[in-house]
Amino acid sequence: MMLEVPGAAMLEAVTLTKRYEDGVLALDHVSFAVKPGQIFAMLGANGAGKTTAINLFLNFIEPTDGEARIDGIVTHKEPLLAKQRVAYVSENVMLYPNFTAVQNLDYFARLGGKTGYTKDDYRSVLLRVGLSEDAHNKRLKGFSKGMRQKCGIAIAILKDAPAILLDEPTSGLDPKAGFEFQQLLDSLRTEGKAILMSTHDIFRAKEVADIIAIMNNGRIVMQEPASRLLGQDLERLYMQYMAGHTAAEAVA
């Protein structure tokens, strides 16, 4: 577990705010930073604003106020430059159902300008994300949610971007796959990736993340290095923050 990582932020939210057209304030002046070699986990209720934050980094939506930066690049000002530096796995990975796993990897790698990958590269990255070999040349349409998620993660790894965004990456994974995914995140951190993820898995967040943020109603109500939460019952803390307690009340 890393304590202090020197250097500049790779992912940065600066008073990031989003009010949707219908008036919903989904994100309310949220600020945080993720450095290379760090994993930042966002916990929070349904509707807390986690996906909104991730979508702002991807420039899928524009901020109402503040900005999201990737490697210092403001995503809504230079979206193409910013996109080159980030890989993304959505909650419901959408790939080509009639392509095999390997064909999907090849297609998306080429789309991202990576033409040098070989069959062996695809095989090893699929094994790295835990997709068994008998599935590599099967069509995606027969895959379970977790198998599709593994393919999405493999595509993100092949992009080899310095920043990785993961929206509920473990939601479709069985316990063994969830454990393996934790080890995969560890190895990506060691490679120096900056990882921003949303999750509902309090237990795994505490195991794998360097910084844990709890979000509620578009705000970060708690942001702490995981090392400072080691002896604490994070589930209990979470429940207290969700009930609207302040930081002082929650740790008392």
- Binding residues vs ligand ATP (CB under 6 A): 20, 22, 24, 26, 44, 46-52
Distances 201 to 33, 96, 198, 231 between C-alpha atoms, Å = 21, 28, 9, 18
CA distance linking residue 186 with residue 198, whole number of Å:
16
Select 219 or 245, whichever has its Cβ closest to ligand ATP.
219
Supply the minimum distance, in Å, between the C-beta of residue 153 and ligand ATP: 18
Supply the minimum distance, in Å, between the C-beta of residue 158 and ligand ATP: 26
Select 37 or 63, whichever has its Cβ closest to ligand ATP.
63
52 contacts Mg ion (rule: CB under 5 A): no
Select 50 or 69, whichever has its Cβ closest to ligand ATP.
50
CA distance linking residue 55 with residue 66, whole number of Å:
14
CA distance linking residue 31 with residue 12, whole number of Å:
7
- Report what 17 binds from ligand ATP, Mg ion, none; CB cut-off 5-8 Å by kind: none
CA distance linking residue 129 with residue 229, whole number of Å:
28
Select 114 or 200, whichever has its Cβ closest to Mg ion.
200
- Report what 90 binds from Mg ion, ligand ATP, none; CB cut-off 5-8 Å by kind: none
170 contacts Mg ion (rule: CB under 5 A): no
Contact indicator for 16, 63 with CB cutoff of 8 Å = yes
Select 101 or 195, whichever has its Cβ closest to ligand ATP.
195
E strand spans, the chain:
11-19, 25-34, 39-44, 65-70, 73-74, 86-89, 163-167, 194-198, 211-216, 219-225
> How many helices and strands, by DSSP H and E, does the chain display?
9, 10
Three-state secondary structure call for residue 68: strand
51 contacts Mg ion (rule: CB under 5 A): yes
199 contacts Mg ion (rule: CB under 5 A): no
Supply the minimum distance, in Å, between the C-beta of residue 198 and Mg ion: 6
Instruction: Select from 11-19, 45-53, 68-76, 150-158 the region that touches Mg ion (CB under 5 A).
Output: 45-53
Select 50 or 85, whichever has its Cβ closest to Mg ion.
50
Supply the minimum distance, in Å, between the C-beta of residue 46 and Mg ion: 7
- Report what 100 binds from ligand ATP, Mg ion, none; CB cut-off 5-8 Å by kind: none
Supply the minimum distance, in Å, between the C-beta of residue 61 and ligand ATP: 7
Closest CA to 140 of 148, 129, 128, 130: 148
Closest CA to 47 of 65, 67, 64, 24: 24
Binding residues (CB under 5 A) for Mg ion: these are: 50-51
